[in-house]
Structure 1
Amino acid sequence: MKLFTTPASPWVRRCVVSISELGLDNRVERIPTKWPHTWATQTTEYAPEFAAATPVARIPALVTDDGIRLVESHAICDYLNAELGGYRLLPQSGRKRWELMSVISITSGALEAQISRRAELLRQPPVRSEDFIRKMHDREHRCYDALEQMTDAFTADVDLAQITLACALSYHDFRFKEDWRSGKPKLTQWFERFIQRPSMQATMPTETPQH
């Protein structure tokens, strides 16, 4: 399989960590991409192989061994978990599945707000909207407040909810200056422990190479 990646994206990291935790590293070829900082507002030139893999032109994108194209992290992680992972990262059904899906859905909202804020910050005044940046900031922190109350859903076993949340909080530390830890002792304690996993340490975010 081929997975198109960048070292900065938390969506990509979510997939790469899942691959590692499922022991599938030898099944997946990682293909790095390059993105100019104008990605936020302009179409960029795409490598032919990447363009063929995803008409959406976003990462991550996975091409399976039998040619199926999966072009966002939810579909990719679902495929990895269901088809190759024996549902080890997310149960197939039952209450536990939906408890973890609740965490994933709120965390995904925070991630979407992070990426939207990052994209807007890359725009230059006067077109940059400070109101939109503040709206995304507030959305992120509402999600963090909710997630502080949801860590009881976690067990000692790794799962997709914990992977997603750790990638989101780590991306916040990477991109933004304001503190998310204040008033969130349970979330902080869990994160500082989970981030020590080898799969997380091996995928710490760095800036995406530019053209």
Structure 2
Amino acid sequence: MVKYPVVLMICTLLLAGCGKIEPGAHLAAGAAASDKVPAEEPAISVQGPMSVSRTELPNGHKLSVTLVKGRYFEDWTSPGPFMGKNWEGEFRLQWLNESGKEVHSLSLNAPFHTESMTFNEVFSIHTDDYNDDGNLDFVIGQYGSSNGNVYRMFTLNQTEKCIQELGLQSSHELFISSSEGRYSVPLEKTGKGAFKISYYDNAKGSTIDETYRWDRDRFVKQ
């Protein structure tokens, strides 16, 4: 025969030992744990210059485009040519030897006549001998419009061991529409000391081809 008073006494003792649990109390406890202020995370810091291009040349030397003063930021909400990663500020164009020691460098902002340049991707520099003098030449560009980009032309002077800007007739720059990159593109060689570029002209509604040929100390549009 079960004695109900004894059972009731045992249940009462158990309840007294566990204590009264309010509805949702376990959620409150969890929330309290998660509401603790986390330890402050360290800020992102950059030690030294940032390279947006580091291209190895056939002889083991390298060409580098390096941000030396400015900022890095990301913008994933504004559709347009600079959506994504951005390096902005003052850049230097560097010629490095096999061990990474600088042979020569120059300000990249100066030829573009601007205090601030922007690159929004890491890229390779395309080199070739366009004026047939035995030195490697190349172009570096900046965003121009939805139809193309603006480029300045440079060469690695092996005799004087320096980077020099190559002369271009009148404007000193090339406007090129290309699907091979924004910041450095290969030029189509059309003969000894000559190359061709193309761009889309909105006013004419067609693609325009231009040929340049080396004439003594600069490329002249034919």
Flag whether TM exceeds 0.5 (same fold). Answer: no
TM range (shorter): under 0.3
| Greater share of helix | 1
Structure with larger Rg: 2
TM-score using structure 1 length:
0.25
